[in-house]
Amino acid sequence: MKLFLNWLDDRTGYRDLMHEALREHIPGGARWRYVWGSTLTFVFMVQVVTGFALWAGYSPSSGTAWESVYYIQHEMTLGSVLRGVHHFAAQAMVVLMAVHLMQVVIDGAYKAPREMNFWLGLVLMQIVLGLGLTGYLLPWDQKGYYATRVATEIMGSTPGIGPQIQQLAQGGPSYGHHTLTRFFALHAGILPALLVAFLALHIYVFRRHGITAKQPYRKPDSEFWPDQVLMDAVACLAILATLLLLAVWKGAELSAPANPASGFSAARPEWYYLFLFRFLKFGWVSHAGEVTGLGEAFGAVVLPGILMTIIALMPFIARVKGGHKFNVGFLVLVVLGSVGLTGVALYEDWIADTADGRSFRAAVAQAHKDGQRAVALSQAPAGIPPEGAISLLLNDPLTQGPRLFQTRCSDCHRWQGQDGLGNDVVQIDESALDAPAKPVAAKAPDLATFGSRAWIKGLLSNFAEHMKSTENATVMAEKARELPGGTMAEWSKENSAALNSEANKASFEAIVEFLYTQSGRSDALPQNDPKVLAGREIFQSGKLADGELTTACADCHTMILPGETEPLSASGEPILTGYGGKDWLKQMLLNPDAHYGESNAMPAFHGQLSDHELDMITRWIIGEYYLPPEEPTKESPTTE
Amino acid sequence: MSKPTSASPAAGAPAAQRRRFLAGLAAGVIGTIVAVVPTIPGIAFLLHPLLKKKKAGAAEGDGYVKITTVEAIPKDGSPRAFPVQMDIQDAWNKYPDRQVGSVFLSRNEDGQLKCFSCVCPHLGCTINYEEKAKLYLCPCHASSFKLDGERENQIPPRSMDPLEVRVNEKNEVEVKYQTFRAGTSERKVVS
C-alpha cells in the first residue's frame, strides 16, 4: 500500500495537494463563524449532483417541459426528493450568500489586500441569482412562466438596448420553445461553468491571503484539519438535513402547465426577489422612472445597480476614516430594508384583509387546485396527449366549467351558494374596496344540484321554495317573478302533501327516478327498469299508490322517450324530453324558449358561447368529467 | 493521520492527540455522509429504468393486436409486410394508435398463417423480403433467412422471430406483438 501511495505521489504530487488543502493555517483556532464559505461550496456541489440527475429527465420545449417535470415529480424514482432538494438548495444558497456577505463586511474581510476576492464574490452572487431566475422558468408552469415574464419585461423596458436584450433572452419576440432552450442553456451550461470558474478563483485568492481571523483569539493557532473541517462538516450536515426535510415534507410545487392565453393572478417572483417586487409597487419609484425616462428599469435595474456599485466600492470607502463603519451601516440598512420590504410584501399577500390580499389568496388557492387537477388528469388512463398537458386542462369540464359559470352565470345563479370557483358573490363597493364585502342574494336557483334526484324532488314537492330566488331577478324580471307563483307552483302546493305522504313514498321515488332517467347520466337507470316504468305510469296517469295527482304530468308537459316513435305526451311546456341531460341543457342555454315557451325567464346565450364552451359548461353541470379513483364524487354535483 | 498512542511520552499530548484523532474521525465520517447522501437520490433517479415496477394494468388484454384481414394476405405462401399499430406510452406522453413496427404475414395453400417479426435477430435492423430470391434479407449486415424463417447464413445468431397469430370471429388477423433481444442465440422477450 505504502509503495503504491509513494508511486502515486511521485506521479501526481497528491500529498502536497492534500497538505495544501488541509494544513491551512487558522490563527486563533477553528471557529463556527468560518463555516459559511464552505457551506456555500457544499450547497453548490449538491446543486451540481441533483442538477445533473434532473437534466437526465428534463425536456426543454414548451410542449414537454411541464410534462417531463411532472414525470420527474410523480413517476420517477425519488424524483420528488431530487427536485425538492434542488429547489430548496437554490434558496439556501441565496440565504447563505447573504450571511456570507454580511460576515465578510462586518469582519472587514473585504479590505486590502482582499479587494479582488471581494469582487469575485460579488460576481458569484450575480451568477447565483441568475441561476435562480433561469431555473424558475424551466418547469414551464404558471408560476414560473408568469414570474419570469415579468423579469424579461423589465429587461425589455430598459431604455436603449432593452428590447434587444429581451429578444435575446427570449429567443424571439415572445415566449416559446427557444425561451426554454436558451434559459436551459444558461441554467445548466453557461452559468454553472462561470460559477465553477469564479469559485475556483475565489477559493484560490482566499487561500493566498488566508482567513480573516476574528480578534481576540480564543485558542492557540491551528490548522484546517481536523477541527475546522469537523465544524464545516457539521454545518453542511445540518443544511443537508434541513434540505431533505423540506424536500420530503413540503416538496417543490408544480403548478398547472403554463397557459399564455389566461391571466395568472397569483404571479409572484421567488421569495428572495419579493423585496424588489414590493419596491417596484411604490408610487414614487414608478414616478421617478417616468421622470427620468428609465421606466421600470429605474427601480428594477438602476437603483439595485447603484446599491451594488456602492457595495463593490466598499474596499475603497474603507480607506477613508470611518469608512468601514459606513460600509457596515450601509449593508445593515440594505439588508434591513430588503427584509422589511419582504415582510411587507408577505403581509399584504397573506395576512392583510384587503381586496388585493383576498383576491391574491383566492388566486393562489385556485392555482393550487389547477396544479393538482393537471396532475390528476396526467395520471388518468387517457394519459397526456401529444399536444401536451395544457390541452388536458383546456378540455376539462371540471377546470373550464366553473370559470365559465363564474363569468356567465354567477350574476344570477349560484353554485353551492358561491360563484362556481369557490368565492362568495359579493357587491363591490368602489368607494371602500377594502371593507368587508357584502354578499349579494341569488336571482336564480343554485345549480350545484341541477337535474339531480334531490333537485327533481324539490321541484315537484316544493316548487315555490325551489324557485324562490327568482324573486330577486333583474333580468327578464317580470317573467322570473311570476315563477314562484305560477301554475307549477300551484300544482306543487296542491300535491305536496300527497307526494310526501308515507303511503306514496315509493310512488314519489318512482316518478323522480323516471324523470332522472331522461338525463341519461352515468348513474341513471335504464328506461325499462321496473322503478322507471312505474314512474312512467304515474307521469302519464297521475295515479299514486294512495290517491291521485290533481293533474298528471303528461297533461301539461311534452315528453318523447328515446327509441319510441309515439310520444308519451305531445304538447305543453316546459318540454321534458331528455330532461337534465347534456342536450337538454345545451338547448336551455342556447334557446330556453324552446323548452319553456311563454314562461321562460332565462336569457338565451345563442351566439355568445362557442361550441367548446357550451360543451365544457354543460358537462361540468351534469358531472361528466374524469375523477381520480381516490376521491370519487367528491366534486360531483349530485351529492347533497 | 497519526494514531493516538496513550503511552505517548510528550507531556500533555495524549489527551490532545486523542481529541485530534476523534475530531478527525468525526470530520471524516460526517464529511463522507454529506458527500454521499445527496448523490443517492441522483443515482436512484438515473437507475429508474431498472428500478421501476411495471404498472399494473399497463398491458391491455392478452397482447394480441389486430393487423389486417385474412384476404389481404397472399395465398401463394409469399410473405407481405404489414404495419403494427397500437397505443404507445412514451414516458409522459400517450400516443394513440401509432405504428410501432411491422410483421411479415404469409398464408399457405391450407390457409395456415405464419407470422415473423420484421426485426432482425442479429442487431435489430428491419428485414426486407426479396421476391426474386425468395429470401428474407437484412440490409444492414446481410443476414438472410429462408421462407420458413430458418437462417440461411451464420450472421444472425438465431432464426427469425416467429409471432403468435390467430384469426378472430370477424375474420381479422391478430398478432401477439413482441420484441426480442437482439444478438443472442436464445430468444428472450424484451419487456
What integer is the mean pLDDT of A97-106? 94
Q: How many CB atoms lie within 10 A of CB A325?
A: 10
What integer is the mean pLDDT of A188-212? 93
Q: Which of A318, A345, A372 is the last residue of a domain?
A: A345
What integer is the mean pLDDT of A224-237? 91
Peptide bond into A574 cis (omega under 30): yes
User: What's A257's DSSP letter?
Assistant: B
Residue of A nearest to B54 (CA): A75
Give CA–CA dist B173/B105, Å, rounded.
9
| Domain at A160, CATH number | 1.20.810.10
What integer is the mean pLDDT of B113-132? 93
User: What's B52's DSSP letter?
Assistant: P
* A261 band by pLDDT with thresholds 50, 70 and 90: confident
Whether residue B171 sits in one domain with residue B119: yes
Q: How many CB atoms lie within 10 A of CB A322?
A: 10
* Domain-embedded: residue B185: no
Whether residue A323 sits in one domain with residue A209: no
Return the pLDDT at B99.
92
User: What's B54's DSSP letter?
Assistant: P
pLDDT over 70 at A175, yes or no: yes
Q: Count up the domains in chain B and report the number.
A: 2
Whether residue A545 sits in one domain with residue A482: yes
More confident residue, A271 or A594: A271
Whether residue B72 sits in one domain with residue B39: no
Return the pLDDT at A634.
46
In Å, how far is A45's CA from the nearest CA of chain B?
9
Whether residue A279 sits in one domain with residue A248: no
Whether residue A551 sits in one domain with residue A525: yes
pTM equals 0.88
Domain that includes residue A308, residue range: 275-345
How many Å separate Cα A485 from the centre of its chain?
A: 46
* A24 band by pLDDT with thresholds 50, 70 and 90: confident
Instruction: Express each pLDDT in A525-540 by its tens digit.
Output: 998 899 999 999 999 8
Residues of B in contact with A67 (CB under 8 A): 92-93
What integer is the mean pLDDT of A397-420? 92
Q: What is the identity of the amino acid at B151?
A: R
Contact B30 A227 (CB under 8 A): no
* Domain-embedded: residue B102: yes
Q: What is the identity of the amino acid at A46?
A: V
pLDDT over 50 at B82, yes or no: yes
Whether residue B47 sits in one domain with residue B73: no
pLDDT over 50 at A637, yes or no: no
Whether residue B75 sits in one domain with residue B37: no
pLDDT over 80 at A431, yes or no: no
| Domain at B92, CATH number | 2.102.10.10
Whether residue B69 sits in one domain with residue B18: no
Contact B26 A233 (CB under 8 A): yes
Whether residue A356 sits in one domain with residue A334: no
Question: What torsion do the CA atoms of B70, B76, B79, B84 make, to the nearest 10 degrees?
Answer: -10
Q: Which of A345, A373, A407 is the last residue of a domain?
A: A345
Q: How many CB atoms lie within 10 A of CB A250?
A: 11
Whether residue A568 sits in one domain with residue A508: yes
* Domain-embedded: residue A627: no
Give CA–CA dist A408/A416, Å, rounded.
16
* Domain-embedded: residue A435: no
Return the pLDDT at B8.
39
pLDDT over 90 at A601, yes or no: no
Question: What torsion do the CA atoms of A128, A133, A135, A137 make, to the nearest 10 degrees?
Answer: 180
Whether residue A80 sits in one domain with residue A213: yes
Q: Which of A386, A409, A442 is the last residue of a domain?
A: A386
Q: Which residues contact A300 (CB under 8 A, 6 or more apart)?
A: A154, A276, A280
Whether residue B167 sits in one domain with residue B87: yes
Instruction: Express each pLDDT in A40-55 by its tens digit.
Output: 999 999 999 999 999 9
pLDDT over 70 at A215, yes or no: yes
How many Å separate Cα A136 from the centre of its chain?
A: 13
* Domain-embedded: residue A392: no
pLDDT over 80 at B9, yes or no: no
Q: Count up the domains in chain A and report the number.
A: 4
Q: How many CB atoms lie within 10 A of CB A522?
A: 9
Residues of A in contact with B23 (CB under 8 A): 226-227, 230
* Domain-embedded: residue A443: no
Whether residue A356 sits in one domain with residue A335: no
Whether residue A252 sits in one domain with residue A123: yes
Angle at A307 between CA A302 and CA A308, to 5 degrees: 95
Return the pLDDT at B53.
67
pLDDT over 80 at A188, yes or no: yes
Whether residue B28 sits in one domain with residue B99: no
Residue of A nearest to B57 (CA): A381
Domain that includes residue B151, residue range: 64-176
Q: Mapping DSSP to helix (H, G, I), strand (E, B) and coil, where does residue A620 land?
A: helix
* Domain-embedded: residue A425: no
Return the pLDDT at B174.
94
pLDDT over 60 at B3, yes or no: no
What integer is the mean pLDDT of A184-208? 95
* A367 band by pLDDT with thresholds 50, 70 and 90: very high
* Domain-embedded: residue B58: no
Return the pLDDT at A364.
93
A513, three cell numbers: 327516478
Average pLDDT, chain B: 86
What integer is the mean pLDDT of A312-331? 94
Return the pLDDT at B12.
56
Whether residue B171 sits in one domain with residue B98: yes
pLDDT over 90 at A214, yes or no: no
* Domain-embedded: residue A47: yes
Return the pLDDT at A447.
92
What integer is the mean pLDDT of A134-152? 94
Q: Which residues contact A181 (CB under 8 A, 6 or more apart)?
A: A60, A61, A171
The contacts found for A488-492 with CB under 8 angstroms, 24 or more apart, are A488/A459, A488/A463, A489/A463, A489/A464, A491/A463, A491/A550, A491/A551, A492/A459, A492/A460, A492/A461, A492/A462, A492/A463, A492/A464
Whether residue B122 sits in one domain with residue B30: no
Q: Which residues contact A434 (CB under 8 A, 6 or more apart)?
A: A353, A354, A355
Residue of B nearest to A89 (CA): B38
* Domain-embedded: residue A200: yes
Buried b (16+ CB within 10 A) or exposed e, A149-178: bbbbebbbbbeeebeeebeebbbeeebeee
pLDDT over 60 at A620, yes or no: yes
- Residues facing residue B99 across a β-bridge: B85
Whether residue A97 sits in one domain with residue A241: yes
Contact A82 B45 (CB under 8 A): yes
Q: How many CB atoms lie within 10 A of CB B32?
A: 11
* Domain-embedded: residue B59: no
Mutation to test the B interface, candidates A44, A78, A227, most B Cβ within 10 Å: A78
pLDDT over 90 at A394, yes or no: yes
- The B-side interface with A (CB below 8 A) comprises 20, 23-24, 26-27, 30-31, 33-35, 37-48, 51-52, 89, 91-96
Residues of A in contact with B52 (CB under 8 A): 76-77
* Domain-embedded: residue A401: no
Mutation to test the A interface, candidates B54, B92, B94, most A Cβ within 10 Å: B92
